Chain A
Amino acid sequence: MATIDEVKAAEGSDEAPKYKVIGTRPIRHDGADKVTGRALYGADIKIKGMIFGAILRSPHAHANIKSIDTSKAEALPGVRAVATSADLPEPGDKIAELGEGAVVLNHLSSNNLARTKVLYKGHAVAAVAADNLHIAQEAASLIEVEYEVLPPVMDVLKAMSSDAPVLNPDVRTEEASTGEKGDKPTNVAKHIVFEKGDIEKGFADAKYVVEREFRTSTVHQGYIEPHVATVLWNNDGQITVWTPTQGTFSVRSQMAELLHVPLARVKVVPAEIGGGFGGKISVYLAPAAAVLSRKAGVPVQIVMDRADVLQATGPTPGSFIRIKMGVDADGRLTAAEAWMAYEAGGYPGSPIGAGAMCVFSCYDIPNGRVEGYDVCVNKPRTNAYRAPGATNAAFATETVVDELCEKLGMEPVEFRLLNASKEGTRRIDGVTYPRVGLVETLEAIKNSDHYKTPLTGKNQGRGIGSGFWFNAGLKSAVTVTVNTDGSVSLLEGSTDIGGSRTGIAMQFAEAMGLAAEDIKPAVVDTDSVGYTDVTGGSRVTYATGWAAYEAAQDLKRQIVARAAELWDVDPAQVSYEDGHVIGPDKSVCFKEIAMELSTTGEPLIARGVSNHNEPGGAFGTHLVDVEVDPDTGKVDILRYTAAQDCGTAIHPAYVEGQIQGGAVQGIGWGLNEEYWYDETGSMRNANFLDYRIPTCYDLPMIDAIIVEVPNPGHPYGVRGVGEVPIVPPPAALEAAIYDAVGVRLYELPMSPPRVLHELLKKES
């Protein structure tokens, strides 16, 4: 595991390293707090006078709420407040823009506290605050809710049929590109179509055509820290929220919209966050906690348990996908067609758009058609999960590609190299790629020791898969204060889930010619830094890093101007280079000039903002060896290598970590993770015992190959890293299983019962 620069250095390359700080591996700034247990995560926050909340959740997957009687709960000693949806303002029909996407407020509000219907088991119905958690929970159980139970709709295809029970009476099918809406209530919220070229001609030109149907199960981000929110609605109407979130400003907007208060009256203080992966953007607890706090007059903390997290937050959708692809005799793709239905959960909003744009994103295909549907079912309202929508799609496409390779008798790597998307390739949705690095990741895999080492054992197999994610830019802000001793405090609004404080500080340090350790980065609340979009979409190192770079430019300009004034020379004669301010007859290091300027003038404060939109999409290719137990269908991973184009790796250790962690989430999705529902729509595995995320004993070391194809759209060439690595694993595993034991799996997860079923079918 080494970056290209490190390899060059090891090989004794003459080329001087391009950067001094970027590409090194400093200890993260928040490290000591996190290994000593001092870092304060969501549930570690204690506010003076705080009481504890509990949520009453629906036992039914689909029901009308006929009445709610809270009197017994209110009468229980120790209970301080009870809330229902009646305590939240009427949301009307407003659609709110929340940075990374639009939300129908009525749906968001009803998802926090159900209004007229419950749409999934675990849907929040009422909330209680009491002196301690035990009393709050007992009180919640005393709330009497009368339900009219309705038949649950759990299957995406059944939900689309015209006789399916309808979840949301206000939902009509919207044609994504024309805005036209259907005239009947339906579960199909959105319909998307992309077309390119002449698909009939494309298939007519094909020598081989493969068409397959795929299903994938609902899966969860599985962050180890459950959701928690602590809220004080102060006597003056100011609301403070302490919460672990991917976006403090997003929480602020959601609270302001849901509670009908001005933005400036809401302050969101980020706690350290114990994982998110897309699942900690939407609010689930803070609105109820706010209402309870207002009633009780003290801060209220509500914490989910694991069952709540799985049943009532935002997993990523299950899906049905049909893929048809054709190749000519030379192995060139001639046409591709996809029909995709994604489960939105209780309210509309699955990542079908991204799924439809990603489904053929790795290939240069002249003719294509993609059709996508966003479909409501009685499951929790889905939310983003690492490259949302892309993994489902890649599993389907890459499996069909593997079958085409078999028909062609072509090495899967060679097939991909022949058909790979590259600069200028036009996707089916019409957009062309800038400089991207899919080919480089394929070559990195082809040149890897892993690829060159053949498998020898029985029932062993090898598989390969590629994946894509767009990455994002969006808004970020950074403020920098130079202290009187020359040390630097850097304030940012991007909550740090995986070491981004350090990645941002390193870019600032690089720009200033300082060391990473000279900078003290801090993630601060919404009153203390400029607007910053969510930590998501693999945007933070790119966008907030760029804001830090801009702050450095601002600081350098100020230092140059003030040094010129101090030295009484023309500013044009002063420059800042490599950590020094240089005048006509002297050169002073940053620390010295900082001290001098601090004692002779105004405070040195700089700012940087960014809203750039050239995040440079990223590709990854994974290679996996498995051994399948032919008698039980169990899949063991023998070896795993993941190559990914990261543009420029700022902190290679954390880049590797993103690749390894994402790959392992993809492995879990591929092999064992699923929401297992009974016929009543009740999830039967809502715990970490039976919702089986990989343990360390299920895995080998994960070799991460960092490929660096610098992004021309960033000062240091950064591309986002975090999302892509979850995309290829299920497909790579499917190909490896087929290679090992000769059965194809068209449904996720490829759990032992499914693999064994196919093996037994093949035998008979």
Chain B
Amino acid sequence: MAKKRIVTATINGREEEFLCQPRQTLLEILRNTLNLTGAKEGCSNGNCGACSVIIDGRAVNSCMILGVEAEGANIETIEGLAPGDGLDPLQQAFLENAALQCGICTPGYIMSAKAFLDENPNPTEEEIRFSMAGNLCRCTGYDKIVRAIQQAAETRAEQSASCAKETV
């Protein structure tokens, strides 16, 4: 049996150390070792996006990354998204638009959308649909999800505009 390694990574802003066998995926470590069960296992091979987390600013499928590869990484999961009180604009927009039914794809969707909007704050519907194609939802038909991401983009723009004003 391969020896367990100690891996150090920043998870949701806090430095964490965990023990990890090489064969454990990052998803397994997040869910079983760190008890961060927001990321879900839907397909195990990178086709559904339910396990999406953000590493060093980029959305990735945590089911296709080994836990040992996370050494030194900066990992963001759905558990770290909401501010102390209230919700992130994406979370709020998903609720207001009824963009979830069963909700199993929601954490992955929101994390992918966050990474996407960080890169492309003012996307067209076409760009949203292209970039979110790696996140499957079987309940909603996507209509309300796309609208939620559009709304979140607007809210984020307003927030950053008012932020900018405050700094001035």
A566 within 8 A of B: no
Q: A658-701 vs B: 1/0 string, CB under 8 Å?
A: 10111111000000000000000000000111000111110101
* Interchain residue pairs A-B with the least CB separation, the first 9: A37-B38, A274-B104, A660-B141, A664-B141, A37-B78, A34-B103, A498-B101, A653-B98, A688-B47
Interface positions, chain B 6-61, Cβ under 8 Å from A, are: 21, 23, 31, 35-45, 47-48, 50
Interface residue from B79, B87, B103, B132 paired with A274 (Cβ < 8 Å):
B103
CB distance from B105 to the nearest CB of A (A): 5
Give every chain B residue within 8 A of A339 (Cβ-Cβ).
none
Given A275-B104, A306-B42, A497-B102, also A688-B48 (CB < 8 A): yes
Give every chain B residue within 8 A of A274 (Cβ-Cβ).
40, 42, 102-105
Q: How many residues of B contact A (CB 8 A)?
A: 58
Given A35-B94, A37-B77, A693-B136, also A224-B104 (CB < 8 A): yes
Given A699-B141, A702-B143, also A34-B105 (CB < 8 A): no
CB pair A223–B102 under 8 Å, yes or no, is: yes
Interface positions, chain B 76-104, Cβ under 8 Å from A, are: 77-79, 81-82, 87, 90-91, 94-98, 100-104
CB pair B101–A36 under 8 Å, yes or no, is: no
CB pair B139–A226 under 8 Å, yes or no, is: no
| Bound-complex Cα distance A306 to B146 (A) | 26
**In this complex, which of A39, A41, A273, A305 has the most chain B Cβ atoms within 10 angstroms of its Cβ?**
A39
Q: A126-166 vs B: 1/0 string, CB under 8 Å?
A: 00000000100000000000000000000000000000000
Chain B interface (Cβ within 8 Å of chain A)?
Answer: 21, 23, 31, 35-45, 47-48, 50, 77-79, 81-82, 87, 90-91, 94-98, 100-107, 110, 128-130, 132-147
CB distance from A643 to the nearest CB of B (A): 15
Give every chain B residue within 8 A of A277 (Cβ-Cβ).
138
CB pair B48–A224 under 8 Å, yes or no, is: yes
CB pair B144–A275 under 8 Å, yes or no, is: no
- Closest A residue, CB atoms, query B81: A36
Chain A interface (Cβ within 8 Å of chain B)?
Answer: 25, 27-28, 30-32, 34-41, 43-44, 46, 134, 221-226, 272-277, 303, 305-306, 497-499, 651, 653-654, 656-658, 660-665, 687-689, 693-697, 699, 701-702, 704
Interface residue from A30, A306, A663 paired with B43 (Cβ < 8 Å):
A306
CB pair A222–B138 under 8 Å, yes or no, is: yes
Give every chain B residue within 8 A of A32 (Cβ-Cβ).
87, 91, 95
Give every chain A residue within 8 A of B136 (Cβ-Cβ).
224, 688, 693, 695
CB pair B138–A36 under 8 Å, yes or no, is: no
Given A35-B110, A274-B102, A664-B141, also A687-B45 (CB < 8 A): yes
Give every chain B residue within 8 A of A653 (Cβ-Cβ).
97-98, 144
| Bound-complex Cα distance A274 to B109 (A) | 14
CB pair A657–B50 under 8 Å, yes or no, is: no
Given A688-B45, A695-B133, also A657-B139 (CB < 8 A): yes
**In this complex, which of B101, B137, B141 has the most chain A Cβ atoms within 10 angstroms of its Cβ?**
B141
Give every chain B residue within 8 A of A662 (Cβ-Cβ).
141
CB pair B40–A661 under 8 Å, yes or no, is: no
